[in-house]
Amino acid sequence: MISKEQVEHRYKTLFGTEPSHIVRSPGRINIIGEHTDYNEGFVLPTAIDKAIYVAVGRREDNQIRLYAEDFRAYFDVAIDDIQPVDLGWPNYILGVVHQLRLRGAQLGGFNLYVDGDVPLGAGLSSSAALECAAGYALNVLFDLQLGRVDIAKIGQLAEHTYAGVNCGIMDQFASVMSKAGHVVKLDCRDLSFSYKPLALGDYAILLLNTNVKHSLASSAYNDRRAACEAGVKLVQQHNAAVNSLRDVTVEMLDNWVKPIDTDIYTKCRFVVEENERLDRACKALEEGDLDELGEQMFQAHEGLSKAYEVSCAELDFLVDYVKQFPEVLGARMMGGGFGGCTINLVKTSFQDLLIERITPVYKEKFGLELTAIKVIPSDGTALL
């Protein structure tokens, strides 16, 4: 955990003045609902107790001066000269500035310091957390009167335009809007949302990071999107009211897609069923039925691995391995696939023993270190 005092002290050392504001914006997990976002479906994320911290203060001139603790690096640019840069990290902040100015925000020069404890490359959305922290900090610094949903949308557009990643809204939305002890049921079609209780009792959420990212990831993602769009087009020939897989039933797929292309059928069916699993997971949370929640997680992994084909040997191994322990109620791969983490619903008292057992077995099988990350569902973006 990074303290406010730590951030304040570093800002003062680097910029010679006190920061006006310090903002904390968290990373996120997704309990269930994978590859549903770009099909106008539902997702079930929540923020975690790992975050990006941003300290800001105004300058007398029109310079933007950034410092990233992770890279021990400064970046300077005049506010009128901002554009995407080859150096990766400034883009997440500059992209936010760009979006704010497109909306007519009157910004001046500022200093901004960034640090964080979201594990990088684990699929916990450190980039979205940085965008939202920067957006929130500039909102208060320049009194822009933006709402939280606006900040999430600005973060998403910053990622599209400056970081060059065509992401959905889930990561930014979860970072800004989460509430401790709850998950957010987010409708990716119209951004309506509700909070569902996440009362874990004797259980905890444990992430196991494979520490792999297979090169298949981006091409496979594009292929899956294309398959989903192709399935929708086939259904639309018979039903003009359908806009996305959100509107499609398994019966429609059976009638109009399966006879034409079994691969497109299988991929589309996964998305339709994943939305149904998410509904069952929400019902389980409302009833405090963690066994049922865990069962939906295991089923989701099966679908992601066999039907949607976005898993990999490392992820499948981790999910299969934990099934032998009654203390693990559910597990699945989390995120786009082909690497990253599994999310596990584990008896709190069993976490350390599970880590102790699974780490050497994973290392022996794949020659890789396994990183265990304990996370606690937490509140979204806030001023410290």
- Residue 29 CB: number of other CB atoms within 10 A? 25
Does residue 233 sit in the same domain as residue 358? yes
Cα–Cα distance between 280 and 289 in angstroms, integer? 11
Task: Check pLDDT > 80 for residue 250.
Answer: yes
Does residue 250 sit in the same domain as residue 340? yes
Boundaries of domain holding 130: 4-199
126 annotated ligand binder:
yes
Is 200 in a helix, a strand, or coil?
coil
Instruction: Quote the tokens at residue 339.
Output: 């690497």
pLDDT > 90: percent of the chain: 93
Residue 171 appears among annotated catalytic residues: yes
Q: Which of 199, 233, 251 is the last residue of a domain?
A: 199
Please state the rounded mean pLDDT for residues 162-170: 87
pLDDT > 70: percent of the chain: 100
**Does 382 fall in a domain?**
no
Task: Check pLDDT > 90 for residue 215.
Answer: no
**Does 380 fall in a domain?**
no
372 annotated ligand binder:
no
Instruction: Quote the tokens at residue 321.
Output: 């391995």
Does residue 68 sit in the same domain as residue 157? yes
Does residue 119 sit in the same domain as residue 218? no
Does residue 168 sit in the same domain as residue 43? yes
159 annotated ligand binder:
yes
Q: How confident is the model at residue 273 (pLDDT cuts 50, 70, 90)?
A: very high
Q: Which of 176, 199, 222 is the last residue of a domain?
A: 199
Does residue 212 sit in the same domain as residue 357? yes
When divided into structural domains, the chain yields a total of 2
Q: Which of 167, 199, 231 is the last residue of a domain?
A: 199
Cα–Cα distance between 294 and 43 in angstroms, integer? 16
**Does 227 fall in a domain?**
yes
Does residue 154 sit in the same domain as residue 47? yes
Q: 171, 202, 279, 379: which one is catalytic?
A: 171
Please give the pLDDT value at position 175.
98
Please state the rounded mean pLDDT for residues 249-273: 98
Does residue 81 sit in the same domain as residue 38? yes
Task: Check pLDDT > 90 for residue 221.
Answer: no
218 annotated ligand binder:
no
Instruction: Look up the CATH number of the domain holding residue 36.
Output: 3.30.230.10
Region of poorest pLDDT, from 24-28, 155-159, 163-167, 299-303: 163-167
Does residue 207 sit in the same domain as residue 349? yes
**Does 295 fall in a domain?**
yes
Does residue 222 sit in the same domain as residue 362? yes
Does residue 118 sit in the same domain as residue 139? yes
105 annotated ligand binder:
no
Does residue 181 sit in the same domain as residue 195? yes
309 annotated ligand binder:
no
Cα–Cα distance between 27 and 118 in angstroms, integer? 6
20 burial level (CB within 10 Å; 0-12, 13-18, 19+):
middle
Please give the pLDDT value at position 219.
82
Cα–Cα distance between 206 and 356 in angstroms, integer? 13
Q: Tell me the average pLDDT of the chain.
A: 96
368 annotated ligand binder:
no
Instruction: Look up the CATH number of the domain holding residue 226.
Output: 3.30.70.890
